[in-house]
Amino acid sequence: MSYDRYEALYLLRNSSAQTLDIGDYESEPSENNAFQECLNWARRHWRCLQIKKLPSYRYNPEIRRSNQTFCSVCLENFELNQTVRKLGCSHEFHSQCVDKWLNLKATCPLCRTAPL
Ligand SMILES: [Zn+2]
Ligand SMILES: [Zn+2]
């Protein structure tokens, strides 16, 4: 394993303690492409970790937690036992739909609030 990868892993480990602010690192000039790549890698995983921390639950139409009955990403109804993820803005989506979306955009598909 290269030093860069260790560095990225170190950042990643810090990220689970919520102390990572990669923005500071990005603004530092670096001519080391491998290092930048590792930072990108760490940032992607950091985002994954943050997404996984958002609350989710198994959908059950008999225990309605909100008025939303369908996912605005795929426009399919929520079905029994599907995993639904609730963002900070209270909008709800299939976790598999919104997780993919958040990996690309990091904002709620409906109201553009940043949940991360
Ligand atoms: Zn969906
Ligand atoms: Zn929203």
Ion ligand 2: protein residues whose beta carbon lies under 5 Å: 89, 91, 108, 110-111, 113
CA of 77 to the centre of ligand 1 (A): 8
Residues 80, 60: Cα–Cα separation, whole Å:
5
The whole-number average pLDDT for the span 18-27 is 49
The count of structural domains within the chain is 1
pLDDT in tens, 50-97: 898 999 999 998 887 788 999 999 999 999 999 999 999 999 999 999
Residues 4, 31: Cα–Cα separation, whole Å:
13
CA of 100 to the centre of ligand 1 (A): 10
CB 42, CB 22: distance < 8 Å:
yes
- CATH number for the domain that contains residue 78: 3.30.40.10
pLDDT higher than threshold 50 for residue 17: no
Q: What's the confidence (pLDDT) of residue 39?
A: 80
Query: Residue 2 — pLDDT band, cuts 50, 70, 90?
Result: low
Q: What's the confidence (pLDDT) of residue 96?
A: 95
Assigned domain for 63 exists:
yes
Q: Of all residues in the chain, what percent carry a pLDDT higher than 70?
A: 72
| Structural domain harbouring 93 | 57-115
CA of 73 to the centre of ligand 1 (A): 5
Assigned domain for 31 exists:
no
CA of 49 to the centre of ligand 2 (A): 20
pLDDT higher than threshold 80 for residue 14: no
Assigned domain for 65 exists:
yes
Sign of torsion, CA 19 21 24 29?
positive
Q: What's the confidence (pLDDT) of residue 104?
A: 86
CA of 60 to the centre of ligand 2 (A): 21
Average pLDDT over all residues of the chain: 80
